[in-house]
């Protein structure tokens, strides 16, 4: 398998003038921490040299996509200071679900900004953009107009989805795989109905990343029940990854059916699972060293993850004050904190997305944009 990207080809311009992203912590560029300010180091240590609202040491897939398109990083929709929405907006927030949560953030940690809320925010955004430009510069706030796109942007944008992991994992410990499978069809249905609504708003190109192999995540390997016979040759939980594959196949089939009802739309399914599984199984083949071991954590060992002490936190354990610190070489790891990918892994995933080899139908982005190198 080659995780590489075709860059530097000569095209006049990029078909996509903006990106609108819907998701959870895997693609949140600061929305959650705009609403609930609390992020601390060592998050952001690799690229931003400070916490930057991202659940990683550096850039996310959506950041690398923006860079490849020659666009600035997406401003979170919820960020009131310093945002610029001329090239899109990011509605993702950490701990978001596709389905409406039936609990509170302060009880279980699930974000109130589910996919339905994110869609409503997008609708409001479009309405506000149209209002500002209808008023004209003589009567509107010109500062606001300068930071919002033109109303024709919505048909020239890429709409990205990286969400569903929390629907899958948040109840695994309590109801098991069988219980989770019962409501996964609702998750898929909500995603496809959201695409249809965005299509009605003018969207034409949609990219949906499937679920990652959570059976390889250090946090789940530590917390979820399993036995040695459930582990594959690389230390990942077979039963949990098989359940993810079942969901991903369901999502792929649903997107295929949705294409038939939206003939003018491009709906791309991205096999993020396959790329990440390859990285977890064979990290050294792609310039990394560690698969199922977290860079930032506490406890050392095979996983370096302790559910009592999350990355960057300090607390008293067994009478001693300890801190979950980061490794010195996150560029050698697939997993940043036991739950999220490192910048290094996110870059490799983005390469696979850009060359189109993990997309169904194939969608090589270099044919739509004069891609910029991502350093």
Q: Catalytic positions, please?
A: 25, 337, 340
* End-to-end Cα separation, the chain, in angstroms: 21
> Helices 61-69 and 343-355, interaxial angle, to 10°?
50
Token pair in block for residue 277: 């599984």
Number of C-alpha atoms within 13 angstroms, CB side, residue 184? 27
Any residues with CB less than 8 A from the CB of 42 and at least 6 apart, and which? 57, 296, 311, 312, 325, 326
Distance CA 251, CA 199 (A): 18
Any residues with CB less than 8 A from the CB of 127 and at least 6 apart, and which? none
Number of C-alpha atoms within 13 angstroms, CB side, residue 65? 30
What's 309's DSSP letter?
A: B
Beta pairing partners, 161: 22, 208
Distance CA 57, CA 49 (A): 9
Cis peptide before 129 (omega within 30 of 0): no
Distance CA 109, CA 245 (A): 26
């Amino acid at each position: 398998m080659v995780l590489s990207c075709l860059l530097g080809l000569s095209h006049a311009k990029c078909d996509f003038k903006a990106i609108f992203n819907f998701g959870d912590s895997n693609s949140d560029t600061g929305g959650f921490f705009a609403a609930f300010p609390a992020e601390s180091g060592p998050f952001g240590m690799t690229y931003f040299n400070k916490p930057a609202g991202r659940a990683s040491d550096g850039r996310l897939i959506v950041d690398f996509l923006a860079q490849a398109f020659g666009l600035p990083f997406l401003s979170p929709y919820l960020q009131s200071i310093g945002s610029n929405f001329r090239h899109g907006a990011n509605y993702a927030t950490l701990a978001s679900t596709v389905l409406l949560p039936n609990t509170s953030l302060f009880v279980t940690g699930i974000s109130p900004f589910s996919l339905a809320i994110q869609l409503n925010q997008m609708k409001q955004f479009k309405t506000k953009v149209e209002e500002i430009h209808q008023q004209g510069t003589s009567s509107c706030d010109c500062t606001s107009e300068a930071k919002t796109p033109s109303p024709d942007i919505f048909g020239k944008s890429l709409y990205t989805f990286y969400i569903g992991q929390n629907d899958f994992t948040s109840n695994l410990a309590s109801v098991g795989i069988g219980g989770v499978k019962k409501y996964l069809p609702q998750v898929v249905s909500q995603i496809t109905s959201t695409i249809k609504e965005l299509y009605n708003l003018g969207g034409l190109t949609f990219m949906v990343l499937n679920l990652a192999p959570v059976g390889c995540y250090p946090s789940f390997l530590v917390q979820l029940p399993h036995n040695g016979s459930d582990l594959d040759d690389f230390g990942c939980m077979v039963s949990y990854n098989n359940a993810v594959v079942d969901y991903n196949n369901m999502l792929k089939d649903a997107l295929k059916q949705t294409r038939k009802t939206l003939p003018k739309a491009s709906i791309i399914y991205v096999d993020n699972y396959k790329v990440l599984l390859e990285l977890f199984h064979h990290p050294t083949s792609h310039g990394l060293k560690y698969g199922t071991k977290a860079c930032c954590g506490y406890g050392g060992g095979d996983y370096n993850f302790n559910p009592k002490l999350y990355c960057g936190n300090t607390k008293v354990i067994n009478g001693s004050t300890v801190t979950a610190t980061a490794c010195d070489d996150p560029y050698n790891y697939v997993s940043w904190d036991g739950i999220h990918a490192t910048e290094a892994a996110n870059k490799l995933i983005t390469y696979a997305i850009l060359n189109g080899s993990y997309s169904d139908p194939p969608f090589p982005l270099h044919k739509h944009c004069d891609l910029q190198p991502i350093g």
